[in-house]
Amino acid sequence: MSSPIRRVAIVGGTHGNEWTGVYLVKQFQQFPKMIARSSFETITILANPKAIAANCRYLDRDLNRSFASEDLANPNLQGYEDQRAKEIAAQLRGVDVILDLHSTTSNMGLTILPSTPDAFNLRLSAYLSQQHLDVRVALGMDCTQDAPMLRSRAQSGCTIEVGAVAQGVLNAHFLQQTEQLVYTILDYLEALNQGKSLTVPSSLTLYQAIAVVDYPRDATGNLAGCIHPQLQFKDYEPLHPNDPMFLSFTGETIPYQGESTVFPIFINEAAYYEKGIAMILTEMRQVECPD
């Protein structure tokens, strides 16, 4: 990013039952000096207050799939999350960097999902990977500024996913990890604005999403199996051809039938059952970080 960063948004509660982001944003709102930096303004947003109050992911529609430009411009979309998306998009006008705080029931550890794979985001991701050695960086299949995710409303920034954390539960370890990661990002942005020299690795390990895999289903569309025990909680670990992938309800092992080794993420994410997603397959890539 060539121009100075003027405004940063920290968002929590995009999904109302992901409490890590909810309670960090509430903390930042109570103690704003924790996120205050001298060279830019930091705003906080509790994205889905009604879902937070009900301790559910959303009321009418997944808010984190409601930010495509065509949806924001569609006056016929009048559900609660549709209206919240329009309100939040208006709040985010003029924001340079978005940090959208999430948690997952999958064993994702501390994961950064950049809004786009541009030079700024790659360098930020590489810096975070250097400062927090347990950080992994994943790129979604739809990683553009017109993706329907909230993070797409600014070119720079990311979603932060931490887990495994049950829905509607606080985990102190991941709460503290996310908090420290937010501070590292804010300090990085402050240093950039002040022209300070930062050591950033020249390359970055990325996990690029390449395919979405559904659960086994019967002829009527009902579940016919579940994640194989040998794959459960093995996010980011290599899955080789013919490795166990699913276990049918009749006890049959269903292997991975791809031709190359992949690295599954979001394995058995609770919120993805409704989306027909058992996991997302990624390729591990080494990419150069542009100057």
Whole-number Å distance between alpha carbons of 249 and 92: 46
**CB-based contacts of 161, cutoff 8 Å, min separation 6:** 102, 103, 104, 108, 111, 113
pTM of the model: 0.97
Which residue blocks in the chain are alpha helix, DSSP H?
19-30, 49-54, 69-72, 80-91, 119-131, 172-193
Q: What residues pair up with 50 in beta bridges, in sequence order?
A: none
Whole-number Å distance between alpha carbons of 149 and 282: 19
**Is the pLDDT assigned to residue 145 strictly greater than 80?**
no
At 1, the pLDDT band (50, 70, 90 cuts) reads low
Closest to 93 (Cα-Cα) out of 45, 49, 57, 25: 45
**Residue 26 has what pLDDT?**
98
Let me know the angle formed at the C-alpha of 161 by 155 and 164, rounded to the nearest 5 degrees.
170
CA distances from 85 to 10, 23, 45, 234 (A): 15, 21, 12, 34
Q: In the predicted model, what is the mean pLDDT of the chain?
A: 96
Q: Which domains does the chain have, with CATH numbers?
A: 7-201 (3.40.630.10), 211-280 (2.20.25.160)
> What percent of the chain is modeled with pLDDT above 90?
94
> What percent of the chain is modeled with pLDDT above 70?
99
